[in-house]
Amino acid sequence: MTAPRVRFAPAPTGFLHVGSARTALFNWLYARHHGGEMVLRIEDTDAALKTQQYVDAIVEPLRWLGLDWDEGPHFQSERRQAHQAAVERLLSRGAAYFCDLTRGEIKQRCEQAGLPLGYHGWSRDRGVADGPGVVVRFRCPDQGETVVDDAVRGRVSFPNESLEDFVIRRGDGSPTFHLANAMDDHDMAISHVIRGEDLLNTTPRVLLLWQALGYGAPPRYAHLPLLVNAKRQKLSKRRDDVSLDDYRRRGCLPEAMVNHLALLGWGPPDAAEIRPLDEIVELFDLDAVKPSPAFFDPARLDHINSVYIKALTPEQFADRALPHVCGIAAADASGTSAAAETVDAACEDGTALTAAATTREAHQQRAHEVLLKLAGDLQQRVAALDEVWQWIDWILSDEVAYDDKAWQKSVVKGRAAAEVLGAVEARLAEDDFTSAERLEAVVMGVGDELSERLGVRVRSQAPVRAAVSGRAAGLPLWEPLKLLGKDEVLARIRQARSRL
RNA sequence: GCCCCCAUCGUCCAGCGGCCUAGGACGCCGGCCUUUCACGCCGGAAACACGGGUUCGAAUCCCGUUGGGGGUGCCA
């Protein structure tokens, strides 16, 4: 087999859809596995969507995923001349004709003829002349069938009588997707067209055009299973979370997203599902792609993401989590995260999150240090990077937000909580806060002593946690106490005691 | 309406005629570990949509039914 040449051809819609990302990935995997090439082509037939912003919305997420291409981006709009010339050729050959019927007129004719709503070659013999608003339609054969030889689905045949004379040039002179698609795939020497199943029904049209244009053997088609939501409907922009960039902002790792996407419609021959991309490249092939729709399950993505997060070194974790803790990753999000709002607000109006970090830079430096020190404990607790903030906000901020339930449970109703806090404050005043282990020994020691004295189990960790963090649960306390520092810890315990 | 696709645990995959009393993973439930929350470990419930064929033998092949989805645009 000669090296394949595939293309990823998204329409510029302002963002990259996870379904499109999956299509891009499968094209890329196929090309890389077989040592072929991938072309990026932006299908901007429709409007003037070739702005940098629209192109970036496609290119950047692809780069984020780690997918590259060997050629492009090409733009369909740049091939306008060639497309128009082809329309002329089809016209002069009688393979296409002009039509000036409006939607209403078509409907009317159907009713008069007692035919089901549709285009029944109405203008084939009307001899319509070209002019403003006049479209060009392709003359489909009335008999026979058009067969799509699909790498995923096998032989799919369409009765030609079910095909209507479709528009290949709009009233404004622009070519439609079918025409541009056939021509561009031919002219760019595409060998394999790998795309979503929603396009399967349009394939006979492209094939008919391919034939009429005298192009010879068509490319091999492969229609990938649709990505669906929990209700098993095609993922849609309106009701589902489909923007790849949103996942990035929420702290999904690109390698996790790629791995997750690869598992939708495909599975490795062995049982190892979570594995590096180069191994997936090695194992991937089209004949192993399943034809049935796949649910894009966010819970599964979370799991895969959590596995990748756990595998990060502390340094990698700190570097990658930092933007999510400092509001950078979510800066351009429509719904900014709590972390972003808190940090941005504090930094922008000049107020400090902590007395020590009075600038954004200082805050970042401090946050990085905290992330690095707590990496292991954080990594096993988050499924996405944007969850990190809620575990450490109390360390990075001077303000303690006391959770009512936690306060009641751990301090008010906590056994001997007042004594615990009193004793801990006294003992910690003697400590130099250089050892997390010693801090643990001190706090736990207070609990043990009280337990012995009172004859009942006294848990000393809970009230201390509530005092310094305002919460009932969280990270192992000792390293955070050290990071918070002696003055701050003692101040918080004092503050808690005064609340009693 | 018409055309097309799809059909194994709730979900994603394995199974491509006998290895299947159907395997793994997510999720769920239970237990262990633990002076928080987690991680980890152990265990459990959970599926071949239905009906006909073909075959010595079918989750695997064929047909039909049912169910789900997609398309049916001067969107792609």
Could you tell me the distance in Å between the CA of residue A158 and the C1' of nucleotide B55? 32
B22 C1' to A229 CA distance, Å: 27
The neighbouring-strand residues paired with A138 are: A96
Q: How far does the CA of A366 sit from the C1' of B33, in Å?
A: 34
Burial class of residue A78 in the structure, from the number of CB atoms within 10 Å of its CB (0-12 exposed, 13-18 middle, 19+ buried)? exposed
Q: Say yes or no: Cβ of A228 under 7 A from any atom of strand B.
A: yes
Whether CB of A176 is under 7 Å from strand B: the answer is yes
pLDDT at A487 over 60: yes
Euclidean distance between CA atoms A345 and A335, whole angstroms: 15
Q: Name the band, by pLDDT with cuts 50, 70 and 90, for residue A234.
A: very high
DSSP A8: E
Average pLDDT rounded to a whole number, residues A288-306: 97
More confident residue, A37 or A239: A37
Is the Cβ–Cβ distance between A95 and A138 less than 8 Å?
yes
Q: Which of A107, A231, A234, A237 is labelled catalytic?
A: A237
A245 three-state secondary structure: helix
Write out pLDDT tens, residues A399-424: 888 999 999 999 898 889 999 999 99
Residues A8, A11, A16, A19: is their CA dihedral positive or negative?
negative
Q: Are A391 and A475 in contact (CB under 8 A)?
A: yes
Tell me the average pLDDT across A316-337.
70
Say what the pLDDT of residue A343 is: 56
**Mean pLDDT across A316-344:** 66
Q: What is the pLDDT of residues A45-91, one digit of tens each?
A: 755 666 888 899 999 999 999 999 999 899 999 999 999 999 999 99
Q: Which nucleotide is nearest to A294 (CA to C1')?
A: B12
A234 catalytic? Reply is no
Residue A448 has pLDDT above 80, yes or no: yes
State chain A's mean pLDDT as an integer.
91
| Hits for CB < 7 Å against strand B across A residues 146-165 | 153-154, 156-159, 162, 164
| For chain A, percent of residues with pLDDT exceeding 70 | 92
Each residue's pLDDT tens digit, A150-198: 999 999 999 999 999 999 999 999 999 999 999 999 999 999 999 999 9
- Asked whether residue A105, judged by its CB, lies under 7 Å from any atom of the DNA or RNA strand B, the reply is no
* Strand B contact at CB of residue A318, distance < 7 A: no
The predicted pLDDT at position A398 comes to 83
A194 φ/ψ angles, rounded to the nearest 5 degrees:
-110, 115
Give A46 CA → B76 C1' in Å: 9
- The pLDDT confidence band at residue A344, using thresholds 50, 70 and 90, is low
Average pLDDT over residues A376-385: 97
Q: How confident is the model over A284-290, as a mean pLDDT?
A: 95
Q: Is A177 within 7 A of strand B by CB distance?
A: yes
Can you state the percent helix, strand and coil of chain A, rounding each to 5? 50, 10, 40
Which of these, A263, A258, A313, A271, lies nearest to A288 by C-alpha position? A263
From the Cβ of A465, is strand B under 7 Å away? yes
Answer for the pair A122, A109: CB distance below 8 angstroms, yes or no. Answer: yes
A197 touches strand B (CB under 7 A): yes
A42: helix, coil or strand?
Answer: strand
A301 CA – B71 C1', rounded, Å = 30
Give the CA A207 to C1' B64 distance in Å.
31
Distance A145 CA to B18 C1' (A): 40
Q: Is the CB of A444 under 7 A from strand B?
A: yes
Mean pLDDT, rounded, for A473-479? 96
For chain A, the distance separating the N- and C-terminal CA atoms, rounded to the nearest angstrom, is: 78
Q: Does the structure show a pLDDT above 50 at A332?
A: no
User: Stretch A366-390: mean pLDDT, rounded?
Assistant: 96
Say if CB A419 and CB A450 are below 8 A apart. Answer: yes
Q: What ipTM describes this predicted complex?
A: 0.95
Nucleotide nearest A159, from its CA to each C1': B3
pLDDT of residue A481 exceeding 50: yes
Residue A361: pLDDT band with limits 50, 70, 90: confident
pLDDT at A193: 98
Q: What is the pTM of this model?
A: 0.92
Residues 248-287 of A with CB under 7 A from strand B: 263-269, 271, 273
Least confident window among A171-175, A305-309, A310-314:
A171-175
Is the pLDDT confidence value at A226 over 90?
yes
Q: How far is CA A264 from CA A62, A286, A456, in A?
A: 18, 13, 55
Instruction: Give the span between the Cα atoms of A439 and A184, in whole angstroms.
Output: 69
Lowest mean pLDDT of A49-58, A225-234, A387-396, A473-482, name the range: A49-58
Q: Which of A387, A346, A334, A90 is nearest to A211 (CA)?
A: A90
Secondary structure of residue A75 in the 3-state scheme: strand
Question: Smallest CA–C1' separation from A119: which nucleotide?
Answer: B72
* Contact flag, residue A292 CB and nucleic strand B, below 7 A: yes
A20: enclosing H helix or E strand: helix A18-33
Better pLDDT: A480 or A413: A480
Say what the alpha-carbon torsion angle A267, A272, A276, A278 is, to the nearest 10 degrees.
Answer: -60
